[in-house]
Amino acid sequence: MDGQLTARKGTYAGLFLVALSTLMYEILLTRIFSVTVWYHLAFFAISVAMFGMTVGAIIVYLCPHFFMEERAPAQLALASLLFALAVVASFMTHLSIPLSMSISLLTVYSFALTYVVIAVPFIFSGIAVCLALTRFPKQVSQLYAADLAGAALGCVLLIYTLKLTDGPTAVIAVALLGSIGAILFAASARAGKLTAAALIASLLLLTFVVGNTALVRRQSPLLRLMWVKGAYEPPPLYEKWNSFSRIQVGGNPTQPLSPLAVSFSLGYPLTEKLPQLYLSIDACAGTVLTKFQGNLKDVEYLKYDLVNFVHYLRPDSRVLVVGVGGGRDVLSALEFGQKSVVGVEINEEILKTVNGRFGDFTGHLDRDPRVTFVNDEARSYIARQTEKFDIIQTSFIDTWAATAAGAFVLAESPLYTVEAWKIFLDHLTPNGVVTFSRWYFRERPGEVYRLTSLAVTALMQKGVTNPREHIVIVRYMPPPRPSSESLPDGVGTILVSRSPFSEKDLATIGEVARRLLFEIVLSPKVALDETFAKIASGQGLKEFASQYPLNIAAPTDDSPFFFHMLRLRNVLRRDLWQQGTVTFNMKAVFVLASLLLTVIVLTLLCIIVPLTLTSRKAVLQGALPLFVYFAGIGFGFMLIEISQLQRLIVFLGHPTYGLAVVLFALLLSSGLGSFLTGNVTVEGARGSGAIRLLMLLGILVLFGLVTPYATRQFQGSVTRLRILLAVAILFPLGLFMGMAFPLGMKVASQKSAQLTPWLWGINGATSVCASVLAVVIALSSGISTSFWTGFGCYIAAALAFLWACRAVAQRATP
């Protein structure tokens, strides 16, 4: 190191844009993968992206004669330009490969090819970021701050980009930002040819982004997803993207169809037909838009749907519907003559689609004086209401869509936890009923077992001594399909009353069930399944749930993974995978376990391969404490970050808030923390660095103890207050976490500047591993365990830092 290379303003600006576009593309890929494959496979996008950047750093380390310091400014521009071009090429390749979930050698090859292709842009991005952070050691604090600030802004910018255009066009916009970063790098390096090439690329990309966005508004884009979940997808009637979903409306608005439902009474003749459209979310979950012109006789069939069973028990009620979708449950409440209905829908685009663009088709239910639509997360909305409801209805609320913050990060739901159900019970009138409907798998109805466990636990925590008196479960089981070896799944609806069901209630339940040919699975007097009876008794529930083959224990806010019932220790037991329609949730846990094994192997390769291939063995002498340090902060940062994403997203409720608030606040404050280490000299890094790391440990302890309490106390507050609280909690945490990397780099550069790219790669590789490990720990032991594991990693890092500083000081002493 000659110490003469100085980063210019263009270097900072270029790094800022490359980091911004890299994180945008990483997160955007989870959205794309959620549509083209499945939500649990979308998690691969984050790991592959981080691994690609790690490979880029290792390439810099292994090729010192090519990546010489005097070439760094020009190579930054070249790597950024190649990143932008590779984004376009890799994405187009992904769109052209049909990916299915069938088990075959061709499927394995298709996925392997896709992930290799997807990783290529991130390799170039990793080269650029590594060069920026290792070739200007005197300015590493400021450059790392620019890197984190760019990533933070990328979180927010993606939200607004997807408001303006669709997912494929947003990918090209990401490439545009990367090419602008290349212009800034090239101008700073005074590389005329690279500047011209990057400028031409930027103009072409900008032209396409503007032109295709205009076509998206007209629903006729040039670039769209064609292969979705292994099948060709025809153009829809309407399509709209946002940061946590892609919605499509398809069908023929003039063609009458038999009513679409999964739990119609076998006694319904199905003779009436009416026009219906289908609204899908990420090409998986869906809801029906029904043509309605104000005549309730046209939708009388809704009285034969099991999910509406509760309306027979509580007529003339104030109803709250969780998850409006296409408006079916709202229409059902009107059909039953209920007093009023509040429909709470988290996805703003669904409300705009149903009541706006297709409002004439659906009958503009938003104009009915009895109906109120609310765009909010249901749990937090209900928590802050003073009004009590007679019915709270939730039917099949699951999207199986990866949010913009990643797939497994947001696979949890704030609606299916004990804390949430206690809120629901508190906001019922004395005889009010909360009702949930889920799939009923014939052989082992895991989801309905878990709903029952959830209801029992919530009731007992509210002081109920005999919870079975408050619970009724009714099911619909369809007849076998012709020429089908497997029987179709049924639907189970659970009704949980704040007060014990009366004899009149039970008589009504029995009469309606007989008339509509539904089966009463559980009531205070009936139990068709002894497992339901055992759970509903509440006696020894914890022990019974722990011994049951599936995880049917009641989820909590610390472990809000209701849909993932396969325990990690049973991932190889294929007999437990079967859950009918939602078997893919069982496979998701297998995918996660496989991914953990994969990233562990890749992380070890990132460590072993450079050690084997390097010709500078002397450089590695005495590097063990630095290796432990950078591995520790890599593991620690991601374990802390993801655990807090999971915890605070449940608190904030909305996926977009989780992305914008948690990631933005954490990355921005970390960038500020890095910037504040700019004046710390290499010699001063030893003393002040140790003090700052000790302060970080203290902040982590305080954070881990205070956050669960604070989120409980403020869960009913308005959204703005909850956001401010989350930022206030995260900011000091991120501030000190952001200091760790530049402090380590200052010490490492004093030992050997040639070693810093490998250490940066180690940090990235362990971050990849930790991104999966955090979810595995949270699924098996809870979010708190994941957080405190990250805390343990920072303790190891702090001790390694002191060790490294002592070794460097001894080496410097004659």
Q: What is the pLDDT of residues 773-811, one digit of tens each?
A: 888 898 889 999 999 999 999 999 999 998 888 776 666
Choosing from 230, 258, 292, the residue where a domain stops is 230
Helix (H) or strand (E) holding 342: strand 340-345
Q: What is the pLDDT of residues 56-95, one digit of tens each?
A: 988 998 888 899 888 999 999 999 999 999 999 999 988 8
Query: To 10 degrees, the CA torsion angle through 699, 700, 701, 703?
Result: 80
pLDDT at 399 over 60: no
Q: Confidence band (pLDDT; 50, 70, 90) for 103?
A: low
Residue 242 lies in a domain: no
Choosing from 569, 590, 621, the residue where a domain stops is 569
Mean pLDDT throughout 497-502?
96
Q: Confidence band (pLDDT; 50, 70, 90) for 411?
A: very low
Residue 118 lies in a domain: yes
Do 352 and 436 fall into the same domain?
yes
User: Is-contact 425 590, C-beta < 8 A?
Assistant: no
Do 604 and 524 fall into the same domain?
no
pLDDT at 644 over 70: yes
Number of C-beta neighbours around residue 116 at 10 A: 13
pLDDT at 483 over 60: no
Give the integer Cα–Cα distance in Å for 15 and 104.
42
Q: Confidence band (pLDDT; 50, 70, 90) for 402?
A: very low
Give the integer Cα–Cα distance in Å for 34 and 284.
9
CATH number, domain containing residue 535: 3.40.50.150
Smallest Cα–Cα separation from 120: which of 61, 48, 66? 48
pLDDT at 408 over 60: no
Percent above pLDDT 70 for the chain: 90
Choosing from 552, 569, 586, the residue where a domain stops is 569
Do 423 and 454 fall into the same domain?
yes
Smallest Cα–Cα separation from 21: which of 211, 183, 197? 183
pLDDT at 482 over 70: no
Q: Is the pTM of this model over 0.85?
A: yes
| Beta carbons within 8 Å of 728's beta carbon, 6+ residues apart | none
User: Is-contact 587 577, C-beta < 8 A?
Assistant: yes
Q: Confidence band (pLDDT; 50, 70, 90) for 405?
A: very low
Do 503 and 575 fall into the same domain?
no
- Which pLDDT value is given to residue 304? 94
Helix (H) or strand (E) holding 247: strand 245-250
Q: Confidence band (pLDDT; 50, 70, 90) for 39?
A: low
Least confident interval from 416-420, 503-507, 595-599, 777-781: 595-599
**Across the chain, what does the average pLDDT equal?**
87
Q: Residue 391: beta bridge partners?
A: 319, 433
Do 518 and 596 fall into the same domain?
no
Give the integer Cα–Cα distance in Å for 338 and 2.
79
Q: Per mean pLDDT, which of 113-117, 636-640, 648-652 is the most reliable?
A: 636-640
CATH number, domain containing residue 677: 1.20.1250
Smallest Cα–Cα separation from 175: which of 164, 189, 161, 160? 161
Residue 374 lies in a domain: yes
Do 17 and 64 fall into the same domain?
yes
pLDDT at 326 over 90: yes
Helix (H, G, I), strand (E, B) or coil at 435: strand
Residue 646 lies in a domain: yes
Given the DSSP bridges, would you call strands 274-281 and 245-250 parallel, antiparallel or unpaired? Answer: antiparallel
**Which of the 8 DSSP states describes residue 477?**
-
Residue 246 lies in a domain: no
Number of domains in the chain: 3
- Which pLDDT value is given to residue 404? 36
Q: Per mean pLDDT, which of 274-278, 399-403, 562-566, 682-686 is the most reliable?
A: 274-278
Mean pLDDT throughout 280-308?
90
Six-digit token string for 288: 């029906």
Do 542 and 599 fall into the same domain?
no
Containing domain of residue 320, as a range?
Answer: 277-569
Measured CA distances, 706 to 412, 435, 633, 678, 692 (Å): 22, 33, 22, 31, 21
Mean pLDDT throughout 468-496?
85
Smallest Cα–Cα separation from 261: which of 396, 397, 363? 396
Do 103 and 26 fall into the same domain?
yes
Measured CA distances, 742 to 110, 145, 400, 430, 738 (Å): 40, 9, 39, 59, 8
